[in-house]
A and B are shown apart, each in its own frame.
Chain A
Amino acid sequence: MNETLTVAAAKPWATGSERPFVRIEKITKKFGDFYAVDDVSLDIWKGELFCLLGGSGCGKSTLLRMLAGFETPTSGRIEIDGQDMTGIPPYARPTNMMFQSYALFPHMTVEKNVAYGLHRDGMKGDEVRDRVADILRLVKLDAFARRKPHQLSGGQRQRVALARSLVKRPKLLLLDEPLGALDKKLREETQFELIKIQETLGVTFIVVTHDQEEAMTLSTRIGVMNAGVIVQVGEPSQVYEYPNSRFVADFVGTVNMFEGRVSEDEPDYISITSPEVGGEIYVGHGVSCVLNQQLWFAIRPEKLRVSRERPEKEHNVLPAVVEEVAYFGNLSVYRLRLDTGKLVQATKVNLSRSEEDAISWDERVWVTWGDTAGVVLTQ
């Protein structure tokens, strides 16, 4: 357990000191003329919980199925723990998979479902019973061992599927939308359980998901996929705060995007003229760009401040009208119409329980942000 934590703390992907545990080298998968996965290369280290994030049809599941051996790559190679996986069938790989549909054998009890993989390895008698009992205790299902899958709730089935894929102690566990079928509350609980189990057993996880919140909470690193290509790989905070493209900025979290052109390019700041803002955006750090280059300025809603009085600032202050206020309990979301007609979103944490004088519908307000709060995107 400690070893795993130190590995995670050392961030081998940042230093590149260790040999990657999973190497995906220039993998391409074509279905007819369609490129499901297009020249993807990716390194994943031992003990990671790596999330492949993307919309439906982006190729994330195909990539996972190639790791499990259910699909054969059109070109490229996959290496797991130093072993080339080319031509190795699913039943001989050091991986196990948890399926989106859970794929529990309907004619077997929970116990038999979990024991199935152990029996295939030639394990017998007491050893099987002990291993099954241990793993069922870990997922808190020891009381349900004799039930059939159809007698369980969705959350319980999900935990049986997890137990079944973990019981063989695979080097690499592949999870396809593991929490997709659960309701919100159960999903949040299970997310933390999943992390705990992953840390306890020290298994490397690769999780496929379309849910960016899930990816943020779970993973050590996220790989954002679009149209068969990995667009960005990074830690959750990197992907969120330093997206490398409009696609990533938009897909991960909510973002306000302004299109514009570089009007001033200095080493320590740049200015962007944006018709959508109706003036200049001041960015308080240098950006590698040229004058008059087209680019996009992206800023997250929580980084915008809304006030009635005009703040004492020279740059990045815009007048707006409150069009809508949505109350979410922990925070409120304001939809603001700039004078140029552009809609922007700002969030505010609700610090007190009741605000007598809260900003409300149709009020004229000022929107402002810090000089380094946004991201400049060139693609």
Chain B
Amino acid sequence: MPRASTILLVVCILGFVFLYAPILSLIIFSFNESKLVTVWGGFSTKWYRALLEDPQILGSAWISLKVAVVTATLSVVLGTLAAYVLTRFGRFRGRALLTGMSTAPLVMPDVITGLSLLLLFVSMEQLIGWPAGRGMTTIIIAHVTFCMAYVAVVVQSRLADMDESLEEAAMDLGARPVRVFFDVTVPVIAPALVAGWLLAFTLSLDDLVVASFVTGPGASTLPMVIFSKVRLGVSPDINALATIIIAIVALGVFIASWQMRRAARHG
């Protein structure tokens, strides 16, 4: 009979294979010489070069990156404010409503979020003339609405763990509430802010459905371009693009977890 540790090892390996085999094959085939996606024709980096010469991919990647950075930053600001109000202001009128509303986007299907925001933007344009047409601005607004909910959840748990007497001590030493927030609260919850930013960045970079609803001419994000390309058949340059995205995301996750570990050690 095999030992318990052997069984654990096998289960562990199977789990990793299940999770990472598709990604691994994608990375390997991104270096495929052959134009056929499923046939290995030798090592080559030509699809990466092809990618760099494709203006459509480069343009949409640039748009996606801009959208993700702005979304992540705005989400961190708004999500932190929401989390702060929910954890620090005790019981106030409408607290339950705010809690529900701020976490609703987590469980809302993307299609509904996208559709409702599209309707909102259209009627706003008719009523007040802003946002004029749809494009990057509307994508950013739409992304912030659901990303800030994720940030709020991450920051809220960190705030709840934080020793409130730290804030009281700063106030006791003569700092006004706004000062206390920036001098003490923000540094203490900084790891959660970094993690929240990276989470929002990834979610925004990743989103296809919501962006498709609220975008307009000239503002196609990377997932939208990939999706439309794939519909015409998978080409090897998509593999190369996916590999680059995986590298960026892996780096982000690595930085986030390193930040969290560092904070836990110092906590």
Contacts and interface: CB of A to CB of B under 8 A. Distances in A.
Nearest to B265: A150
A41 to B, nearest CB: 25
A72 to B, nearest CB: 12
A121 B174 contact: yes
A116 interface: yes
A103 B166 contact: yes
B184 A105 contact: yes
Nearest to B162: A106
B173 A96 contact: yes
A96 B176 CA distance: 15
A234 B168 CA distance: 31
Contact of A91 (B165, B175, B183, B187): B175
Contacts of A121: 174
A101 B187 CA distance: 19
A90 B172 contact: yes
Contact of A150 (B173, B187, B188, B266): B266
Nearest to A107: B187
5 contacts: A90-B171, A96-B172, A106-B267, A121-B174, A148-B266
B184 A91 contact: no
Given A99-B169, A106-B166, A106-B188, 6 more contacts: A90-B168, A95-B172, A97-B168, A103-B166, A107-B187, A168-B174
Given A105-B184, A106-B266, A148-B266, A97 B172 contact: yes
A100 B166 CA distance: 11
Interface string B73-109: 0000000000000000000000000000000000000
Contacts of A106: 166, 188, 266-267
Given A148-B266, A150-B266, A103 B174 contact: no
Nearest to B164: A103
A327 interface: no
B23 interface: no
- 3 shortest interchain CB distances as A-B pairs: A117-B173, A120-B174, A103-B169
A95 B168 CA distance: 13
Interface of A: 68, 70, 89-92, 95-97, 99-101, 103-107, 116-117, 120-121, 148, 150, 164-165, 168
Contact of A168 (B163, B173, B187): B173
Interface string B175-201: 110010001100110000000000000
A100 B184 CA distance: 18
Nearest to A117: B173
A91 B188 CA distance: 20
A100 B163 CA distance: 11
A179 B179 CA distance: 30
A172 B266 CA distance: 32
Contacts of A68: 168, 172
Nearest to B166: A103
Interface string B9-37: 00000000000000000000000000000
B170 interface: yes
A307 to B, nearest CB: 54
Given A148-B266, A150-B266, A117 B174 contact: yes
Nearest to B173: A117
A103 B165 contact: yes
A120 B172 contact: no
A232 to B, nearest CB: 29
Contact of A97 (B163, B169, B184, B187): B169
B266 to A, nearest CB: 6
A70 B168 contact: yes
Contacts of A70: 168, 171
A284 B157 CA distance: 65
Contact of A120 (B163, B173, B187): B173
Contacts of B183: 105, 116
A116 B187 CA distance: 15
Interface in B240-267: 265-267
Contacts of A103: 163, 165-166, 168-169
Contacts of B165: 99-101, 103
A165 B175 CA distance: 14
Contacts of B174: 91-92, 117, 120-121, 168
B173 A164 contact: yes
Interface centre among B163, B165, B172 (most CB of A within 10 A): B172
Given A107-B187, A116-B170, A91 B176 contact: yes
Contacts of B184: 105
Interface in B210-267: 265-267
A164 B170 CA distance: 11
Contacts of B173: 91, 96, 116-117, 120, 164, 168
B168 A99 contact: yes
Contact of B188 (A101, A107, A164, A168): A107
A101 B163 contact: yes
B92 to A, nearest CB: 15
Which one of B163, B168, B174, B266 has the highest number of Cβ atoms from chain A below 10 Å of its Cβ? B174
Contacts of B265: 150
B179 A105 contact: no
A97 to B, nearest CB: 5
Q: Could you say which of B169, B171, B175 has the most chain A C-beta atoms within 10 Å of its C-beta?
A: B169
A148 B188 CA distance: 14
